[in-house]
Amino acid sequence: MKMTFRWYGKNDKIPLEHVAQIPGISGVVTSLMDIPVGDSWPIKDLIELKNYVNSYGLNLEVIESVNVHEDIKLGLDSRDEYIKNYQETLVNLSQIGIKTVCYNFMPIFDWTRTDLNMPLKDKSTVLSFDNEQLKDLSAQDLVERIRNDSSEVEIPGWELERLDEIEGLFKQYETVDEEQLWENLKYFLEKIIPTAESCNIKMALHPDDPPFSIFGLPRIMTNQKNLQRLLDLVPSINNGLTLCTGSLGPNKDNDMPAMIRDFGGQGKLHFGHIRNVKRINDKSFHETSHLSSDGSLDLYEIVKAYKDINFDGPVRPDHGRMIWGEEGMPGYGLYDRALGITYLNGLYEAISKARDE
């Protein structure tokens, strides 16, 4: 495994100097944060980004995310122009050595939580999702809650200028059910996978977070069967997955080690997000440290599955607790994610050496 770290550009409160000090780190996963969704990413900006990351001794081989414009997900006539821009972005990314692009196909909302600062017994805070609370909220209520809880930091996937149009977006999705969303995804893949093949870029679709419908919106990247359906839409080594244990983990029926072995065995597992969650009840959960005993997932078995398939691609810790007085983007502090990396690397080393004995 190549251990990486999600970094949000020069405006991130976490400097690359600190990221580079994490033991076992190979590079960062990042994006151009100031480019509107749907626009082509300028090669000049990409070269500047790569050079900046490399100046700290870190690699840049994974982009997360090149977000998909809502018109593409909706299947509107205007989608072809946005797909063309997406193709141009892939070509430009290939010119700076990007090998993997993470993206998602979630309507309107990216990852969704009802609380960005839920306190645990140890006084750390985590992201949480309470399905009972969601029943009492409108979509606009949730947007306002995210605005108020985000510490004046714009959270990727929750760009406020886009969510200001939320009522209109919901109106447009009234005619899009799950099967129509599948058709719109297929159309998109049929256009971009040939470009990805020519650029030698692996497209890695991220599952829906959480893995079930919210506010009646269709969500389709939710389980092993549907992830396989995605791969079968456009069969290509370049059409693959980001397997996020924390996104799929709230559903107890999602067997994460089995998925890693299955999709990894097919050569379709291109990127891994490894984190833990604590299931509270059906469709409610909160996040935790990466430690297995703190949550509902067995991180030992998850890391063992990666070792079993000899995975040599990029992985990263995902959302962490906010600890030790750190302030910043909820879920994306330095300290707990650095602890997560150390824990994951320790598991991997122990599993590897036990097999060599």
Q: What is the mean pLDDT of residues 202-209?
A: 97
In this structure, are residues 110 and 157 in contact, taking their beta carbons and an 8 Å threshold?
A: yes
Tell whether the model's pLDDT for residue 163 goes beyond 80: no
- β partners of residue 202: 100
For the chain, give me the number of helices (H) and strands (E)? 14, 12
Can you say whether residue 126 is alpha, beta or left, with left for phi > 0 and alpha for psi between -120 and 50 degrees? Answer: beta
In this structure, are residues 276 and 246 in contact, taking their beta carbons and an 8 Å threshold?
A: yes
Q: Among the options 244, 286, 290, 336, which is catalytic? A: 244
Q: Which two tokens mark 257?
A: 């080690």
Report d(CA 343, CA 262) in Å as an integer.
Answer: 24
The parent domain of residue 173 ranges over 2-356
DSSP string, 22-52: STT--EEEE--TTSPTTSPPPHHHHHHHHHH
Q: Among the options 273, 286, 306, 343, which is catalytic? A: 273
The total number of structural domains in the chain stands at: 1
pLDDT band at 139 (very low <50, low <70, confident <90, very high): confident
Q: Among the options 318, 336, 343, 348, which is catalytic? A: 318
Can you say whether residue 6 is alpha, beta or left, with left for phi > 0 and alpha for psi between -120 and 50 degrees? Answer: beta
286 is catalytic: no
The predicted pLDDT at position 160 comes to: 59
Report d(CA 26, CA 57) in Å as an integer.
Answer: 9
206 is catalytic: yes
What single letter denotes the amino acid at residue 305?
A
User: What's 75's domain CATH number?
Assistant: 3.20.20.150
| CB within 8 Å of 336: residues ≥ 6 apart | 124, 289, 320, 321, 322, 323
- β partners of residue 100: 62, 202
The predicted pLDDT at position 145 comes to: 74
Q: pLDDT digit string (tens) for 315-353?
A: 999 999 999 999 988 999 999 999 999 999 999 999 999
332 is catalytic: yes
Q: Among the options 69, 206, 270, 290, which is catalytic? A: 206
39 is catalytic: no
The predicted pLDDT at position 61 comes to: 96
319 is catalytic: yes
Burial class (CB in 10 A: 0-12, 13-18, 19+), 42: middle
Asked, as a colleague might, if the bond just before 65 is cis with ω within 30 of 0, I would say: yes
CA atoms within 13 A on the CB side of 355: 9
| Angle formed at CA 49 by CA 37 and CA 290, multiple of 5 degrees | 80
Q: What is the mean pLDDT of residues 166-192?
A: 94
Per mean pLDDT, which range of 3-12, 17-26, 129-138 is the poorest? Answer: 129-138
Q: What is the mean pLDDT of residues 218-238?
A: 97
Tell whether the model's pLDDT for residue 161 goes beyond 70: no
CA atoms within 13 A on the CB side of 3: 22
Q: Among the options 69, 286, 290, 319, which is catalytic? A: 319
Q: Which two tokens mark 296?
A: 């509902």
In this structure, are residues 201 and 94 in contact, taking their beta carbons and an 8 Å threshold?
A: yes
Q: List the one residue out of 277, 272, 246 whose CA is nearest residue 261.
A: 272
Q: List the one residue out of 70, 348, 105 whose CA is nearest residue 247.
A: 105
What single letter denotes the amino acid at residue 185?
L
- pTM (predicted TM-score): 0.94
Helix axes of 299-308 and 256-265: crossing angle, nearest 10 degrees: 10
Report d(CA 99, CA 219) in Å as an integer.
Answer: 27
